[in-house]
């Protein structure tokens, strides 16, 4: 694998970590500071993490030249596909096959970034002149 691809994978991993940190931090702030119940707090965290993830992936990970009017809806479509994959894996693994939740969720958490990277690198952020790294 060329070093440019490895560097992009590293940026993708870092952006994913920052997105997860955003989700968790906003959720904690929602439950701790705003006294929200966990579901709305986590929902707010998830929404914030989607914004952080999109902005980092567009500008830094994929250095996309695609306009936000194109890349934004595509990114949300990929996010919905990831939610669908998570739902199917959990349904099959936990409900149909009666597997233990932590194992089944771990499988989904491995598959989701693979799906996201594949779709975002090949579809979401394509088009336009690539941004030059600084």
pLDDT digits (tens, 9 = 90+) for 68-127: 999 999 999 999 999 999 999 999 999 999 999 999 999 999 999 999 999 999 999 998
Assign residue 100 a region (left: φ > 0; alpha: ψ between -120 and 50; beta: otherwise): beta
pTM of the entire predicted model:
0.89
Query: Among candidates 129, 130, 121, which has minimal Cα distance to 11?
Result: 121
CA distance 87 to 119: 18
pLDDT score for 132:
61
Q: Which residue has the tokens 């958490």?
A: 109
CA distance 82 to 32: 29
Q: How confident is the model at residue 35 (pLDDT cuts 50, 70, 90)?
A: very high
Q: How confident is the model at residue 65 (pLDDT cuts 50, 70, 90)?
A: very high
């Amino acid at each position: 694998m060329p070093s440019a691809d490895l560097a992009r994978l590293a940026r993708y991993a870092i952006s994913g970590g920052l997105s997860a940190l955003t989700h968790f931090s906003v959720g904690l702030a929602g439950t701790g500071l705003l006294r929200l119940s966990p579901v709305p707090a986590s929902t707010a965290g998830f929404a914030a993490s989607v914004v952080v993830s999109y902005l980092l992936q567009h500008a830094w990970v994929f250095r996309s030249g695609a306009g936000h009017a194109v890349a934004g809806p595509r990114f949300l479509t990929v996010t919905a596909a990831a939610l669908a994959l998570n739902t199917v894996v959990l349904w099959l693994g936990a409900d149909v096959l009666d597997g233990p939740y932590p194992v089944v969720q771990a499988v989904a958490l491995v598959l989701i970034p693979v799906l996201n990277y594949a779709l975002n690198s090949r579809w979401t952020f394509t088009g336009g002149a690539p941004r030059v790294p600084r």
